[in-house]
Structure 1
Amino acid sequence: MDPKSINIKDFSYELPESRIAKFPLAERDASRLLFYNQGAIDAHPFRALPALLPADTLLVFNNTKVIHARLHFTLPNGKQLEILCLEPLMPAEYQQNFSSRAKVRWKCLVGGNRKWKTGAIEKTIPSPSGEVQLRASRISRIENAFEIEFEWDNPSLAFGELLAAAGIIPLPPYLNRENVPEDEDRYQTVYAKTQGSVAAPTAGLHFTDRVFEDLKQQGASALYVTLHVGAGTFKPVSAEALADHHMHEESIYIDQQTLAVLIGHLQQGKPVIPVGTTSMRLLESLYWHGQAICAGQPSSFIDVQQWAPYEEGIRPSATESFLAIQQAMAAQQQDTLQGYTQLIIAPGYSFRVCNGIITNFHQPQSTLLLLIAALIGKDWKAVYDFALSRDFRFLSYGDSSLLLP
Structure 2
Amino acid sequence: MNPSLHLSQFDYELPPELIAQTPASQRAGSRLLHLDARGALHDRNFIDLPGLLRPGDLLVFNDTRVIKARLAGRKESGGKVEVLVERITRADTALAHVRASKSPKPGSRLVLAEQFTVDVRGRQGELFELVFPSSVLELLERHGATPLPPYIEHAAGRQDDERYQTVYAREPGAVAAPTAGLHFDQAMLDRLAAQGVARAFVTLHVGAGTFQPVRTENLSEHVMHAERYSVPPATIELLRATRAAGGRVVAVGTTSVRALESAARQAPGPGPLEGDTRLFITPGYEFSWVDALITNFHLPQSTLLMLVSALAGMEPIRRAYAHAVQSRYRFFSYGDAMFIEKPEQ
- TM-score of Structure 1 vs Structure 2, range by shorter chain: over 0.9
Give the conservation status (yes or no) of the 8 Å contact 2:50–2:191. yes
Per the alignment, residue 47 of structure 1 pairs with 47
Per the alignment, residue 278 of structure 2 pairs with 342
> Residue 77 of structure 1: CA displacement?
6.8
Give the conservation status (yes or no) of the 8 Å contact 2:231–2:260. no
Are 2:151 and 1:151 aligned? no
State percent identity of aligned pairs. 40
Are 2:77 and 1:140 aligned? no
5+ residue gaps in structure 2? none
The 5 A counterparts of 1:374-393 are 374-377=310-313, 378-393=315-330
SS in 1 for 2:264: helix
Are 2:111 and 1:122 aligned? yes
Per the alignment, residue 16 of structure 2 pairs with 17
Give the conservation status (yes or no) of the 8 Å contact 2:56–2:242. no
Greater mean alpha carbon deviation, residues 387-396 or residues 172-181: 172-181
Shift in alpha-carbon separation, 1:124–1:400, aligned structure 2, 3 A: closer
The 5 A counterparts of 1:77-226 are 79-89=79-89, 91=90, 97=91, 104-112=92-100, 114=102, 116=104, 119-123=108-112, 134-152=116-134, 158-226=135-203
The 5 A counterparts of 1:362-373 are 362-373=298-309
Ranges of 4+ aligned residues in structure 1 off by more than 6 Å: none
> Residue 178 of structure 1: CA displacement?
1.4
In structure 2, how many angstroms separate the alpha carbons of the residues matched to 1:394 and 1:270?
Answer: 30
Structure that is richer in helix per residue: 1
In structure 2, how many angstroms separate the alpha carbons of the residues matched to 1:389 and 1:186?
Answer: 27
| Aligned amino acid, residue 66 of structure 1 | V
SS in 1 for 2:102: helix
Give the conservation status (yes or no) of the 8 Å contact 1:51–1:218. no
In structure 2, how many angstroms separate the alpha carbons of the residues matched to 1:342 and 1:4?
Answer: 18
Shift in alpha-carbon separation, 1:120–1:400, aligned structure 2, 3 A: same
In structure 2, how many angstroms separate the alpha carbons of the residues matched to 1:379 and 1:363?
Answer: 17
Bigger Rg, which one: 1
Q: TM-score if structure 2 supplies the norm length?
A: 0.93
What is the CA RMSD across the aligned residues, in angstroms? Answer: 1.8
Per the alignment, residue 398 of structure 1 pairs with 335
Shift in alpha-carbon separation, 1:54–1:236, aligned structure 2, 3 A: farther
> Residue 348 of structure 1: CA displacement?
0.9
How many pairs align? 339
In structure 1, how many angstroms separate the alpha carbons of the residues matched to 2:11 and 2:112?
Answer: 43
Q: Deviations over 1:271-321 (max 9, x none)?
A: 0010000001111111111xxx3xxxxxxxxxxxxxxxxxxxxxxxxxxxx
5+ residue gaps in structure 1? 92-96, 98-103, 126-132, 153-157, 294-324
Give the conservation status (yes or no) of the 8 Å contact 1:171–1:199. yes
